[in-house]
Amino acid sequence: MMDELGKATYYAMVSAKRITRQSSVKETIPTPSVLLDFKAAVLPTSVFIYSLSMRVEVYVSKPIIYYRYQIVGHIAAQCQSMNPLCGYCAGNYDTREGTNKTENEAPKCVNYQSPHLPSSMVECPVMRHKYEARMQNILQHISFRHHPL
């Protein structure tokens, strides 16, 4: 038993934050997931929380989409365009002003010109590519500063 305890590795955890989501009525709801920040080059495979062994996975957030132009990886500080685009139909107006969609109208992605939302991780090849590139940067320890996405 002591031999097994002697082999345990300790990782310095810097912070812990519960991940939340928004409900359809804009209410913040906590999820079962917790974002742990470790001061280590290699993550542990699991951690013990209240005597329960919990698996540790790399967390990669969705790529940024600027709300006014729906372009993946685009933020307001970098924006040169004056023409907003709708996040549903790719029309030339700001999504926050409402959409002109009809009941049976399919969405249209601004980034890929296909019938899906620009924020769809499943359907949008541009969004999926940016997400996979972010994952590779994290796994290869490449900082955002050296390779922004």
What are residue 53's DSSP bridge partners? Answer: 48
Q: Tell me the three state secondary structure of residue 11.
A: coil
Q: Are residues 88 and 50 in the same domain?
A: no
Helices (H), the chain: 2-6, 125-139
Question: What are the pLDDT tens digits along the chain (149 aa)?
Answer: 333 433 446 778 888 899 998 888 889 999 988 888 888 778 888 888 888 888 988 888 888 787 777 777 767 777 776 788 888 888 888 877 766 666 677 888 888 788 888 888 788 888 888 888 888 888 777 765 555 55
Total domain count, the chain = 2
Residues 77, 142 within the same domain: yes
Residues 35 and 86 in one domain: no
Q: What does the DSSP assignment read for 17-44?
A: EEEEEE-TTS-EEEEEEEEEEESSSS--
Let me know whether 97 and 34 are in one domain. no
SS3 of residue 125 by DSSP: helix
Quote the domain boundaries for residue 128: 60-149
Q: How many angstroms separate the CA atoms of 5 and 147, rounded? A: 40
